[in-house]
Amino acid sequence: MQMGLKEEKRHSLVKAQLVEIVGEENVDDSTSGRLVYSYDATPNFQALPDFVAAPRNAEEVAALLKRCSEQKIPVYTRGSGTNLCADTCPVQGGVVLLMKHMNRILELDKENLTITVQPGAITKTITDCVEKEDLFYPPDPSSMKISTIGGNLAENSGGLRGLKYGVTKDYVMALQVALPNGALIRTGGKLTKDVAGYDLTRLFVGSEGTLGVITEATLKLIPKPESQKTILALYQDIEAAGRTVSSIIAHKMIPVTLEFLDQDTLRAVEDFAHIGLPTNVKAILLIVQDGPKEIVDRDIKKIAELCRKEQAIDVQLAASDEEAQQLAAARRSALSALARLKPTTILEDATVPRSEIAAMVRAIAEVAKKYRVQISTFGHAGDGNLHPTCLTDARDHEEMKRVEEAFAEIFEKAIALGGTLTGEHGVGVTKAPYLEWKLGADGMAVMRGIKQSIDPQGIMNPGKVFAEKAKERVATEK
């Protein structure tokens, strides 16, 4: 990419301004430096930024946003780039704002059960710090070993424990946010109850970097559950697994984790992890309950009975904590395991009400057959959040077209079942054209109005969430 003289001059000018704010050593416009941040975990998206800038504190972030607003320079806030909707891909050039310096844990407040962190802190570092004190931060996205908490906040990440404990936004009490106009605001507090004004905290959480930059967050903690047990239920009938999910909840038990893996996923995970997972069954449920020991024992016994009643061919209790952790680790590795099989792996997260899990699993299989594409399904069955995963090859344009059509139909089906396009991965670039299917033109207009009021120059993560043009709807029977 050659720059003309005029562009070169502008580039130097912008660089000087960035250097002035964050320091020489924290601005990178080398080709190799820019290349590293040209993509994230989403297959098939890449674009070069003009600069990578790494601010050292909130004030630098705010100053940088103000400058970029004045000059309409796009800004993409980036943690570890583990997202799956191209949300950190700098699709319109500009500045990648790297949060690597702002990675400290600022305070663990045991009296108010909160932890205050900077956005670049790694999720796992936070949970480890908390659990040492017998406290608990429940949100556990599969990428938590490398993801940053800032990324989790921007995407409102879910995880395996969402069924019982909710998602990231349920644990955010207060934020400091840098706005495009250069202001630094604080929302919320260490307060269970606070109705002083609109809920700006939850507006910024999950806004995918399109409104501002979270520069500090205070998270809610709860006491660490005293014990936990894990069982595996094996099925030769996928529908029976779906019915079991409904049956457990109908019996007034909310397990912490209720995961579904189909046979393809099981085989891939076993090939990858070698922990003796059953690969000769059509599906398994991985079920975890936590809490006081006597209650966990009671629930697990009842849950095992319900699994058997719904035709599970076997129910196995993890013999030890290590075995339980191995199973959880194996489940977390599903994406990596599947990704080894084909050059391109597309992992989606269409989500439906829990009662529609069986219908959705069936619909995904039908769509895969119709478009002749390979789709494995696993996911958080307890909260209706499935991960249909397509193994394909981005170089095969004809197949990729069929993959796209298949997912469009899966999205439409999820919405028809009262569900949503994305349960935990975010809209980003990949789902932006479909968002209007869920929200309607009037809902989109409300979002656009909010975006415009906070980011009038449109510098915050442009090209994400809001599509130039909504995708036309395929007519499917409802």
From CA 396, how far away is CA 282, in angstroms rounded? Answer: 29
Residue 107, interface with a second copy (CB under 8 A)? no
Q: Which of 16, 384, 462, 379 is nearest to 209 (CA)?
A: 462
374-380 and 257-262: which strand pairing?
Answer: antiparallel
The least distance separating a second copy from the CB of residue 21, rounded to whole angstroms, comes to 19
106, 185, 275, 329: which one contacts a second copy (CB under 8 A)? Answer: 185
Q: Which of 415, 426, 427 is nearest to 384 (CA)?
A: 415
Residue 425, interface with a second copy (CB under 8 A)? yes
Q: Which of residues 235-254 bind a second copy (CB under 8 A)?
A: 246, 249-250, 252-254
Residue 478, interface with a second copy (CB under 8 A)? no
Residue 331, interface with a second copy (CB under 8 A)? no
234, 288, 454, 459: which one contacts a second copy (CB under 8 A)? Answer: 454
179, 256, 307, 406: which one contacts a second copy (CB under 8 A)? Answer: 179
Residue 424, interface with a second copy (CB under 8 A)? yes
The least distance separating a second copy from the CB of residue 336, rounded to whole angstroms, comes to 21
CB nearer a second copy, residue 4 or residue 197:
197
Q: What is the CB neighbour count within 10 angstroms for residue 82?
A: 22
Partners of 376 in the β-ladder: 389
The least distance separating a second copy from the CB of residue 7, rounded to whole angstroms, comes to 33
86, 89, 238, 435: which one contacts a second copy (CB under 8 A)? Answer: 435
From CA 260, how far away is CA 284, in angstroms rounded? Answer: 6
Contact assessment for residue 361 and residue 143, using Cβ atoms and an 8 Å cutoff: no
The least distance separating a second copy from the CB of residue 26, rounded to whole angstroms, comes to 25
Q: Which of residues 355-394 bind a second copy (CB under 8 A)?
A: 355, 380, 383-385
From CA 94, how far away is CA 48, in angstroms rounded? Answer: 9
Interacting span for a second copy (CB under 8 A) from 7-15, 279-287, 307-315, 434-442: 434-442
Residue 151, interface with a second copy (CB under 8 A)? no
From CA 217, how far away is CA 156, in angstroms rounded? Answer: 13
CB nearer a second copy, residue 244 or residue 392:
244
The least distance separating a second copy from the CB of residue 141, rounded to whole angstroms, comes to 11
Q: Which of residues 274-313 bind a second copy (CB under 8 A)?
A: 292, 294-295, 298
The least distance separating a second copy from the CB of residue 6, rounded to whole angstroms, comes to 35
Cα 272 to the center of its chain, rounded Å: 23
The least distance separating a second copy from the CB of residue 452, rounded to whole angstroms, comes to 7
Q: Which of 473, 346, 470 is nearest to 412 (CA)?
A: 473
Burial of residue 32 (number of CB atoms within 10 Å: 0-12, 13-18, 19+): exposed
Contact assessment for residue 235 and residue 241, using Cβ atoms and an 8 Å cutoff: yes
Q: Which of residues 209-228 bind a second copy (CB under 8 A)?
A: 222-224
The least distance separating a second copy from the CB of residue 238, rounded to whole angstroms, comes to 18
16, 309, 449, 474: which one contacts a second copy (CB under 8 A)? Answer: 449
Burial of residue 447 (number of CB atoms within 10 Å: 0-12, 13-18, 19+): middle
> Where do we find the tokens 């398994």?
284
The least distance separating a second copy from the CB of residue 160, rounded to whole angstroms, comes to 11
From CA 103, how far away is CA 150, in angstroms rounded? Answer: 9
CB nearer a second copy, residue 26 or residue 77:
77
Phi and psi at residue 283, to the nearest 5°? -165, 155
Interacting span for a second copy (CB under 8 A) from 13-21, 31-39, 199-207, 390-398: 199-207
CB nearer a second copy, residue 48 or residue 444:
444
Phi and psi at residue 103, to the nearest 5°? -125, 25
3-state secondary structure of 115: strand
From CA 3, how far away is CA 32, in angstroms rounded? Answer: 17
Q: What is the CB neighbour count within 10 angstroms for residue 184?
A: 18
Integer CA distances (angstroms), 257 to 43, 224, 338, 430, in order = 28, 16, 21, 28
Q: Which of residues 118-137 bind a second copy (CB under 8 A)?
A: 134-135
Q: Which of residues 23-82 bind a second copy (CB under 8 A)?
A: none
Contact assessment for residue 402 and residue 278, using Cβ atoms and an 8 Å cutoff: no
3-state secondary structure of 169: helix
Residue 423, interface with a second copy (CB under 8 A)? yes
From CA 82, how far away is CA 335, in angstroms rounded? Answer: 12
CB nearer a second copy, residue 170 or residue 239:
170
Integer CA distances (angstroms), 198 to 203, 204, 443, 450, in order = 9, 12, 18, 13
The least distance separating a second copy from the CB of residue 5, rounded to whole angstroms, comes to 39
How many residues bind a second copy (CB under 8 A)? The answer is 89
336, 438, 457, 467: which one contacts a second copy (CB under 8 A)? Answer: 438
106, 191, 275, 474: which one contacts a second copy (CB under 8 A)? Answer: 191
Residue 141, interface with a second copy (CB under 8 A)? no
CB nearer a second copy, residue 34 or residue 380:
380
Interacting span for a second copy (CB under 8 A) from 32-40, 117-125, 328-336, 451-459: 451-459
From CA 328, how far away is CA 288, in angstroms rounded? Answer: 9
